[in-house]
Structures are given as C-alpha cells and as structure tokens.
C-alpha cells in the first residue's frame, strides 16, 4: 500500500512539472495565438498583412497603445533591437522575454535587449547611444543579420545574389562602401529581403517602416514567408556584354608607324576603339610605298582574325595621309551585321559550355582550350567550294552556317579563346593560317582546321610545340 501511495505521489509530481522548451532551436518558433483583428489599422488588403499578423501570432508584438500597429510609422534603433532580442531569446530559451529579463529588463526599454544581444555575442558596441535614433535600413539589416546564430538560416538565393550583384544588375545602390553591406546582402541570400524595386534596390540610408520591418522579422522565423528571388541574372561566367573591341588590348596611335610593332600599336588603337578605318601619315609617299603600307597594316589586322577583317582599301590624300578601310571579302555593307551575329553566337557557345559543366573553374587553360577545339571540330566542316569572296573566310560562317576555311576556323577559335581570357593570335604561311596561344604559361600552336580534316578529331594538332608546328607547316 505504501509503495502504491508513493507511486501515485510521484506521478502527481511528474504531471505538475512544466515542459521546458528546447534550447537553441528553430523549433521554438511556433505561433502561440491567432490574430483576430487586434490592430484597427490593419485589414486583409493592407501591405504586409500576412507578416504583421504573423508577428502578432508568434508573440512578438501587441501593437501600439492606441490599438493600431502603425504600418507606415518609422522605427528607432531601439525598437529593432527589442524585436531582435525577443527572437534571439525565443530561439535560445523558448521565451521571448527571458533574455532581456536576465539583464534586468521589464519589456519597456531597449537597453536590456541590447545588453542581452551583446552578452550573446550577436552585437557589439556599435549601436551604443543610438537606440533612440531613427533606424536606417542598413542598421536594421545589421541587427537582423546577427539576430540568429550562423547556420540557422539557409542561403536559398545565394547564386542569384552572387551573380546579380556581381553583374551590377541588381542591388546597385549597395556597394562595398555602404555601411553593413555584407549584412544587407545576407538578407537577400536568406530570402529575408528582395529589395524595393525591379532591380532589388535596398535604399540603405532610408528609414524603415514598421510594416517593412515586420516582413523581415517574420521571415527570420517562418521559412514559408521567405522569398525566392526570380532575378534574370546572367551565368556567373557569362560573356554577355563582351564586345569585339574589348577583346583587343588598347594600343597607342602612331601616325607614321615605321616598324611592325608600331603598326601593331596603331592597329590595336583602331580595333579597340571599335573602328575599321585607320589614317596614317607618310608625306611624299609613292604609290608603291602606299601599297606596301597597306599590306603591312592588313597583315597585322589579320593577326586579330577574330575581328573578321581580311581586306583593305586605301584613299591617298594630297598631303600624304593614307586612309585605310578594312572589311571582309563578300561581306559588303552587311559586315557589321555579320560581326554582331558572330559575337552573339560565340557568347552563346561560351555560356552553354559553362552552363553544361563542360567548362569549369577548376580546369587549366589547356583543358579549356581543348574543349573549344573539340567544339569547333564537332560543329564545322571544311568548305571546299569557298572562293575569295566567300564568308567562309570569317568566323561568321562557322558559327552561323557550320562551314569555314582555315581563316574562318582560326578566327572562330581565337574568338572563343579570347572570351575565356586566353591570350592568342594567328600565324600564317603562304597558304594557311592557325592559332598561337599562351596556355598555362607555355606558347603553343593549335590548328583547328587540320584537326578537323579527317573522320575523327585529330588532337595531334592541338597544343603543338613551335617545333612540332614547324614540321607540320613551316612559316
């Protein structure tokens, strides 16, 4: 009988012991009450209605003393700190006020919440003395980004933010000089913020409204309220926006180049400016001399064969100036149309190879160049019927029609390498042209035309040493 009474007493004691909330877990984020119209200024059509009601149901607010929530009212730093302290305490203890209470707080002033967050290592002294000032959105981002321990929230928008921000297409009003810019970006990565316009602007220096703050606060608590960014961002390694002119290292204009190096400077000046005319000055030059200078300039231009220029015409002025105009055989007035289409197609190939994983950041330059070599050989056939005026002499025909001869092969290949940031040029003899590239610190020769001359891709012509290249085709 005594054992039975003791057991009953023990059972009663166990039944009266309160169930303690788990410590340091997001499982403590539960809605403990139901919103039933407590805020007179909030209707189902109000901005942030879902977030404000959630803030109430999580037990984080009872609104203002006049029975409103104050959707458009601004907030002080202290008010944001109070909310952050309650959320941190809820995560750690299961009770919103436990943290501040341990610092002597009674829920009426912000200092105990700040001291609690400081004691927890969530904040430092950077907000001391600022609790009564109007909070900027950057300050709010700083507080919220540090409210919960690292790792609690998942970076559901990590790639979108990295690519969108790096491309400067999104969040353009936030730079490395913006206060707490890393915290701001973190809110986007977590899905706490998506910005305030179509480009995701954050307006870091502006005050925040209570409605907007409620949205961010409740997204910390509820994964269902977080935002998945649907930004139109380019691939991280996208070449979109690259121009043919940008692929040429800028040169210095020399009016009367005397050496090949000086002619190269003037030609690069022209190409990097996006121009196709070059005026040089040689007083008293003869017709034979003028023709020689034309050939010298054309030879240099052809070394930049990705630019699609392979012919030159010249007007000789009375004062000895030579106005050279570069074009492509068979292109006529449509040359710029062909050049534009070539660039767009090359960028599409570049981006597709990165998106498919055929190109990766871990690859060496040699490995990347081999991928492009394979692509060229797989996607082109030699145009045995090409005449002098055929578009097969420029990269356009390879990209857009799948046919080319050696200068078309080489121009297309060099264009792809340069989109990858690989330094290259072309080398020719009397009847052929091929690529010379710098791969992983080594100069190599690459002949895509001959690599594509059989039924199978011949990699013997990929990354040849100069000696091997000389044996294949002397120059």
Burial status of residue 430 (CB atoms within 10 A of its CB: 0-12, 13-18, 19 or more): exposed
The pLDDT of residue 7 is above 70: no
Confidence (pLDDT) at 67 = 96
Please answer whether residues 30 and 22 qualify as being in contact, where contact means their C-beta atoms are separated by less than 8 angstroms.
no
**How far apart, in whole angstroms, are the C-alpha atoms of residue 123 and residue 140?**
12
The model's pLDDT over 304-313, given as tens digits with 9 standing for 90+, comes to 999 999 999 9
Q: How far is residue 238 from each of residues 198, 346, 352, measured CA to CA in Å? A: 21, 11, 9
The model's pLDDT over 356-398, given as tens digits with 9 standing for 90+, comes to 889 998 999 999 999 999 999 999 999 999 999 999 999 999 9
Tokens 């809110």 appear where? 187
Confidence (pLDDT) at 20 = 56
Average pLDDT of the chain, as a whole number: 93
Confidence (pLDDT) at 468 = 98
> How far does CA 382 lie from the centroid of its chain?
37
Per-residue pLDDT, averaged over 60-88, amounts to 97
The pLDDT of residue 8 is above 50: no
The model's pLDDT over 329-346, given as tens digits with 9 standing for 90+, comes to 999 999 999 999 999 999
The pLDDT of residue 115 is above 70: yes
Confidence band of 17 (pLDDT split at 50, 70, 90): very low
Confidence band of 18 (pLDDT split at 50, 70, 90): very low
What count of residues does the chain have?
475
Residues 6+ apart with CB under 8 A from 222: 29, 54
The model's pLDDT over 310-326, given as tens digits with 9 standing for 90+, comes to 999 999 999 989 999 99
Q: How far is residue 80 from each of residues 136, 143, 217, measured CA to CA in Å? A: 10, 7, 9
* Pairing assessment for the beta strands 381-382 and 403-404 based on DSSP bridges: parallel
Confidence (pLDDT) at 343 = 96
The pLDDT of residue 6 is above 60: no
How many C-alpha atoms does 135 have within 13 Å on its Cβ side?
26
pTM over 0.75? The answer is no
The pLDDT of residue 282 is above 70: yes
Tokens 């792809």 appear where? 416
The pLDDT of residue 1 is above 60: no
Confidence (pLDDT) at 234 = 65
Provide the strand spans (E) within 258-365: 277-281, 311-316, 321-327
Per-residue pLDDT, averaged over 194-205, amounts to 95
Please answer whether residues 187 and 84 qualify as being in contact, where contact means their C-beta atoms are separated by less than 8 angstroms.
no
Confidence (pLDDT) at 238 = 86
* DSSP three-state, residue 318: coil
Count helices and strands in the chain by DSSP H and E runs: 17, 8
Confidence band of 9 (pLDDT split at 50, 70, 90): very low
The pLDDT of residue 167 is above 90: no
């Amino acid at each position: 009988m005594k054992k039975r009474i003791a057991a009953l007493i023990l059972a009663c004691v166990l039944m009266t012991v309160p169930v303690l909330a788990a410590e340091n877990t997001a499982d403590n984020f539960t809605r403990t009450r139901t919103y039933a119209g407590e805020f007179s200024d909030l209707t189902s059509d109000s901005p942030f209605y879902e977030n404000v009601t959630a803030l109430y149901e999580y037990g984080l607010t009872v609104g203002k003393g006049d029975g409103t929530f104050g959707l458009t009212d601004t907030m002080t730093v202290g008010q944001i700190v109070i909310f952050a302290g309650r959320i941190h305490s809820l995560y750690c203890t299961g009770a919103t006020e436990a943290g501040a209470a341990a610092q002597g707080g009674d829920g009426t002033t912000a200092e105990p919440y700040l001291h609690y967050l400081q004691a927890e290592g969530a904040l430092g002294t950077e907000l001391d003395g600022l609790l009564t000032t109007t909070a900027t959105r950057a300050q709010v981002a700083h507080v919220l980004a540090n409210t919960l321990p690292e790792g609690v929230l998942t970076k559901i928008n990590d790639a979108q933010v990295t690519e969108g921000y790096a491309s400067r297409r999104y969040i353009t009003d936030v730079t490395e000089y913006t206060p707490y810019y890393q915290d701001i970006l973190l809110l986007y990565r977590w899905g706490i913020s998506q910005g305030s316009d179509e480009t995701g602007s954050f307006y870091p220096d502006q005050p925040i409204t209570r409605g907007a703050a409620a949205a961010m606060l409740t997204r910390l608590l509820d994964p269902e309220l977080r935002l998945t960014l649907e930004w139109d961002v380019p691939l991280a390694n996208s070449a979109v926006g690259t121009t043919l002119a940008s692929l040429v290292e800028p040169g210095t204009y020399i009016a009367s180049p005397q050496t090949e190096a000086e002619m190269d400077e003037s030609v690069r000046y022209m190409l990097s400016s996006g121009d196709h005319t070059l005026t040089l000055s040689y007083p008293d030059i003869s017709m034979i001399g003028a023709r020689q200078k034309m050939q010298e300039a054309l030879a240099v231009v052809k070394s930049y064969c990705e630019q699609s220029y392979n012919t030159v015409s010249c007007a000789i002025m009375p004062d000895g100036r030579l106005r050279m105009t570069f074009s492509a055989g068979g292109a006529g007035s449509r040359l710029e149309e062909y050049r534009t289409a070539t660039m767009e197609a090359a960028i599409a190939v570049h981006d597709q190879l990165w998106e498919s994983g055929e190109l990766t950041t871990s690859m060496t330059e040699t490995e990347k160049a081999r991928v492009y070599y394979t692509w060229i050989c797989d996607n082109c056939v030699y145009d045995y019927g090409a005449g002098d005026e055929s578009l097969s002499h420029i990269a356009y025909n390879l990209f857009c029609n799948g046919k080319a001869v050696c200068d078309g092969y080489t121009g297309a290949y060099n264009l792809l390498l340069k989109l990858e940031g690989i330094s290259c040029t072309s080398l020719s003899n009397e009847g052929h042209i091929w690529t010379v590239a710098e791969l992983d610190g080594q100069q190599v020769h690459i002949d895509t035309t001959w690599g594509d001359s059989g039924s199978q891709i011949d990699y013997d012509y990929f990354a040849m040493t100069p000696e091997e290249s000389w044996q294949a085709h002397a120059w």
